[in-house]
Amino acid sequence: MEYLPSEYQFITAKKMTTSDILCPLVWISPDIRQEVDHRAKASKGSKMKYTVVVLSALLVTALANPITFKDCGSTGATIQSVDVSGCTAEPCHLVHGTNATVSVNYTATEDVTHPTNSIYGIIDGVPIKFPTEEDCCASKNLDCPIKSGSQSQYKNSIFVAPAYPEITLVVKMAILDDKKHEFLCIVFPAIITSS
């Protein structure tokens, strides 16, 4: 190492720090090492802030976690995610006397001028229609008309009437296109419950 001036010799007597490992230049320059060590000490507070931000983001993600769903034959949309309000575990609990809002993020692969809603509860293989406004445009469940290539969100609420029995079911939600084909179709597991 005689070809380097003494102040740029490799450091062997000093215990290696994290900043030494992360910045190889400090191995040869004491001036740079002092600067990096100073920054490492100053950044401990910012590391804590960063940790809090990351943990907060993870918590929000856990609380708004998309549910597991099955595409049941969408002919005009590619579904990205499905969220159900208040659903923190599967099957989703649909509580008597409340509205369960279902949000579906999708990309349209065809144009639809007059989309209509179709919502069913499937119990032991038997589909039972949930009462809902059929005209998607009138109910403002999505942006109308639907244009191919557009990314959008379909939102609809299901009122869980107190008269409904406490039962396990599969919820089927669909948007029908102008020819009454299932432009978008999802199913997900649910339980109707009083609490």
For the chain, list the strands marked E by DSSP: 70-71, 77-84, 92-95, 99-108, 116-123, 126-129, 151-159, 167-176, 182-193
The predicted pLDDT at position 191 comes to 96
- How far is it, in rounded angstroms, from Cα 4 to Cα 164? 84
pLDDT beneath 50, residues of the chain: 1-33, 35-36, 38-40, 42, 48-64
What are the tens digits of pLDDT across the range 117-157? Answer: 999 999 999 999 998 889 999 888 898 999 999 999 999 99
Could you say which architecture CATH assigns to the domain 65-194? Sandwich (2.60)
What ranges do the domains of the chain cover? 65-194
Q: What is the pLDDT of residue 96?
A: 97
- Give the pLDDT confidence score for residue 88 in this predicted structure: 87
Q: What is the pLDDT of residue 32?
A: 43
Which pLDDT does position 141 carry in this prediction? Answer: 86
For residue 41, what pLDDT is reported? 52
